[in-house]
């Protein structure tokens, strides 16, 4: 009775700190560690040795099992999120996004060519070089002109940027959502209604 109570208590204490994805590995490690610890403790120290070996085996096996099944990303530091401050995309702001279409109905019609105009500002205190806005749409059939690179942008200054958008001939009634960003970081989203 004491042996099973110790085993249950050790399992509860060990598994209380594990994430749900690690429980299986910790449980398997604890079971194997308990069996091996009990066998080795029984050989070396009799009944008391078996109990102590079980506890040590459960704790050690559970820790090894939890570590073996831990997600790979859980051990990474947050250095990547801090490094964006030195990146050219940090401090770039997109303002006054406007949509101009041929018939001025503020809707992207099937087969229509329209223009997306925005202002890009440097909000840092240093000169930024080679800024390339990346514009994407949730509808993969909507074509967007190739991005142009802004060679340099002085601190506190802005430039006007234009992208040409071409809708496919067959277009569903939905909303086209445009994401505007720099080097994979989305800065602004803009939506336009579509029609056939």
Q: Which residue has the tokens 């802004």?
A: 150
Please check whether residues 90 and 63 belong to one and the same domain.
Answer: no
Please check whether residues 61 and 149 belong to one and the same domain.
Answer: no
User: Residue 165's CB: how many other CB atoms inside 10 A?
Assistant: 22
Please check whether residues 91 and 180 belong to one and the same domain.
Answer: yes
Report the chain's C-alpha Rg in angstroms.
30
**What is the tens place of the pLDDT at every residue in 13-44?**
555 554 455 566 666 666 667 666 777 777 77
Domain region containing 187:
84-195
Where is average pLDDT lowest: 13-27, 98-112, 122-136? 13-27
CATH number (domain holding residue 169): 2.60.40.10
Residue 149 within a domain: yes
Who's near 109: CB < 8 A, 6+ residues apart? 101, 103, 167, 171, 194, 195, 196
For residue 77, give both structure tokens.
């530091």
Domain count, the chain: 2
Please check whether residues 106 and 60 belong to one and the same domain.
Answer: no
Q: Does the global pTM surpass 0.75?
A: no
């Amino acid at each position: 009775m004491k042996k099973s109570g110790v085993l249950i208590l050790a399992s509860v204490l060990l598994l209380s700190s594990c994430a749900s994805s690690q429980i299986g590995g910790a449980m398997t490690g604890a079971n194997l560690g308990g069996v091996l610890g009990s066998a080795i403790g029984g050989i070396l120290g009799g009944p008391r040795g078996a109990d102590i070996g079980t506890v040590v085996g459960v704790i050690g096996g559970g820790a090894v099992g939890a570590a073996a099944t831990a997600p790979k990303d859980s051990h990474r530091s947050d250095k990547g999120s801090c490094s964006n401050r030195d990146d050219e995309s940090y401090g770039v702001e997109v303002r006054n996004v406007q949509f101009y279409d041929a018939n001025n109905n503020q809707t992207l019609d099937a087969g229509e060519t329209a223009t997306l105009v925005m202002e890009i500002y440097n909000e840092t205190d240093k000169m930024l070089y080679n800024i390339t806005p990346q514009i994407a749409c949730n509808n993969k059939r909507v074509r967007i002109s190739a991005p142009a690179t802004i060679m340099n942008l002085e601190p506190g200054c802005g430039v006007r940027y234009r992208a040409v958008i071409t809708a496919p001939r067959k277009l569903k009634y939905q909303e086209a959502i445009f994401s505007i960003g720099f080097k994979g970081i989305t800065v602004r989203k803009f939506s336009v209604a579509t029609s056939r």
